[in-house]
Amino acid sequence: MDQIIECVPNFSEGRNPAIIKQITDEIETVAFVRLLNVDPGKATNRTVVTFVGTPAAVVEAAFLAIKKAGELIDMRSHKGEHPRMGATDVCPLIPIAGISMEETAEWARKLAEKVGRELQLPVYCYEAAQPDKSRSNLSVIRAGEYEGFFKKIKLTEWKPDFGPAEFDARRGATVIGARDFLVAYNVNLNTTSTRRANSVAFDVREAGRVKTDKATGKPVTDAQGKPVQVPGTLKFVKAIGWYIEEYGIAQISMNLTNIRETPVHKAFDAVCESAAQRGLRVTGSELVGLIPLQAMLDAGRYFLAKQQRSTGVSEKELIRIAILSMGLDELAPFVPEERIIEYLLKKEGDARLVGMTLRDFADETASESPAPGGGSIAAYAGALGASLATMVANLSSHKKGWDARWKEFSDWAGKGQDYKDQLLRLVDADTHAFNGIMAAFGLPKGNPEEKATRHAAIQAATRTAIEVPFRVMETAYGCMDLIKAMAIHGNPNSVSDAGVGALCVRAAVLGAYMNVRINAAGYDDKAYVADILAQGSAIQEMTIEAETQIREIVNEKIGV
């Protein structure tokens, strides 16, 4: 699937599992769509559903879900803490891979038109799908909510973009659009007061609050008589305070619309600061729906850096620190495999080898199967070399008396983690490349056309089988600067670990080059082969020279 979009419809039902399942069942009937997450909320009486797929498939699945929600949800009896205007309150499309925001917006408008025409439902477009920027903001569209829309829809300026200009008492209306990835994030307070929670929300949200005259308590207006707004501390943040009866606490409910500019950890700390100034305490937080992996990694690094601890730790540890620091598991368990979008999108088998135990990996290598072979082992040897150097960097960062240098070694450790992760990915990539060659050789060759197709497939697979071990060479050699720095400047008690790391990297580069050479022998483009072999030979020589220098440094420091 070259083009992938995400859809995150919000349905106005969070208490009846049977209704929710009937809606999500409709989504799962569509081919090329994958349901990722279903997140119901009792207090909000709202369920956030996340699914991904090809654009046409996602539009079809969304249409079926909107249709089913309109059949099952009666807005006349709906009550909940979250603002809402319809059975399917909002249905955004988000570009994930291979597709632009402009293209995604076109798909959103196709969905909106189909819903309005076939379901006779009032539909408003928002964000990138709305050309009229005066009505592209979701909160502006939804103002007045379900109860106020019977009159609002009759206003000329609020005629729906698609569907009838008649508010449907049972189904309400819906908003469909295209936007960037949005993180719905709630921060928990040790209070039951909605008013106090709202005060914190107004402190942090971009819109802020209306300025009031301290003497009279009345709103301050500008020359045109409009209320003067005092902006909050966080850009790209919408927030309100509410009381959640289910948990017996008040929350700051936030939508983070640009997590590059205002990441989750920054929003969390801003709420903590505002709450403390008002005599409140943050006790934890919760994510609604999914979050990108990078947001969790950035949060983990942020909180480690605040402690002056090395940020060059594993992905798993960074996520653990983020969960602990923001109390993401206070109200319910936070399972990364179920909440991080990249983990949910992983294909089964992408990392089969690196997911094995050490014994299983050795047993698989020792079996009669030709893969994993030398290429995967070379990549793993390089990963071990990078890991040893990273260990030295982390030990040095936390060494007693070396506090002033923690950042220096933390940066080295971060580089080591990157090298390690790249090489681990190449362990499975090399085996996938070998399997690709075997699959190409297995293609039919009964006639000239089949023979030509088979030959082209073999050549394409062979090129991949050359490039993967070459990337192992480049990546493993890149570790040598880190290993040398650790041998010279790192914790002297761990200098032998740096030496072993250099030996591992040497084995990785030399072993990978053997795989480059053996696969290059079967490739037709001789100019490409000559160039890649020349580059590989140069990397091999530089690696041997670097390993010799590091071994001399290590032996001199050991001194025995």
Return the active site residues: 82, 430
Tokens matching residue 311: 């940020």
DSSP labels, 100-137:
-HHHHHHHHHHHHHHHHHHS---EEEEETT-S-GGG--
Give yes or no for a cis peptide into 17 (omega within 30° of 0): no
Can you tell me the distance from the alpha carbon of 280 to that of 241, in angstroms, rounded to the nearest whole number? 13
The number of helix segments (H) and strand segments (E) in the chain equals 17, 13
Residue 159, SS3 per DSSP: coil
User: What number of CA atoms fall less than 13 Å from residue 169's CA on the CB side?
Assistant: 2
Can you tell me the distance from the alpha carbon of 153 to that of 165, in angstroms, rounded to the nearest whole number? 6
Can you tell me the distance from the alpha carbon of 332 to that of 363, in angstroms, rounded to the nearest whole number? 39
Q: Which residues contact 48 (CB under 8 A, 6 or more apart)?
A: 8, 9, 10, 37, 38, 39, 41, 184, 288, 289
Tokens matching residue 220: 């301050």
DSSP labels, 216-238:
T-PBPB-TTSPBPEE--S-TTEE
Tokens matching residue 86: 């319809």
Residue 363 Rama label (left phi>0; alpha psi -120 to 50; beta)? alpha
φ and ψ of 46, to 5 deg: -155, 140
Can you tell me the distance from the alpha carbon of 124 to that of 130, in angstroms, rounded to the nearest whole number? 8
φ and ψ of 213, to 5 deg: -75, 120
Point out which residues pair with 239 in neighbouring strands: 254
